[in-house]
Amino acid sequence: MVKYSPKTLNRTFAALADPTRRRILAHLARGDQRVTHLAKPHAMSLPAVSKHLRVLEKAGLLRRRRYGRVHEMQFRVHNEHRIDGGRRLVERRTDRARNEQV
């Protein structure tokens, strides 16, 4: 049986608890995007979106790539989240967020 770190689980579920962050993950599930592109559909400032992205990064749900001044975000799930259906849980949450938009 796999034992999850309570700290890791708390970060993951706290990150997924916010509807804005779930919508951001839903956008990223379709492909990598720049931070500026993620801010547009949410009518948020870049600093506000950056705060949400940092929470998702700390939870291990995103990967940030830097190309000069351009920051590109990628949806990512660590191996420990994939074990025992953890990935399916994250995918279900992003699917729900995607459906909330429609």
Q: Provide the CATH number for the domain around residue 56.
A: 1.10.10.10
Q: Across all residues in the chain, what is the average pLDDT?
A: 82
Residue 19 included in any domain: yes
Q: Which residues contact 44 (CB under 8 A, 6 or more apart)?
A: 20
Q: pLDDT digits over 25-44, tens only?
A: 998 988 899 998 888 888 88
Q: Flag whether pLDDT at 45 surpasses 70.
A: yes
Domain residues for the domain of 78 are 6-101
Asked if residue 35 lies in contact with residue 49, where contact means CB atoms within 8 angstroms, the answer is yes
Other Cβ atoms within 10 Å of 16 Cβ, number:
21
Residue 54 included in any domain: yes
Residue 1 included in any domain: no
How far is C-alpha 77 from the chain's CA centre? 9
Q: Where are the beta strands (DSSP E) in 1-102?
A: 33-34, 62-67, 70-75
Residue 63 included in any domain: yes
In the chain, the number of structural domains is: 1
Residue 58 included in any domain: yes
Pair of tokens at residue 89: 């849980």
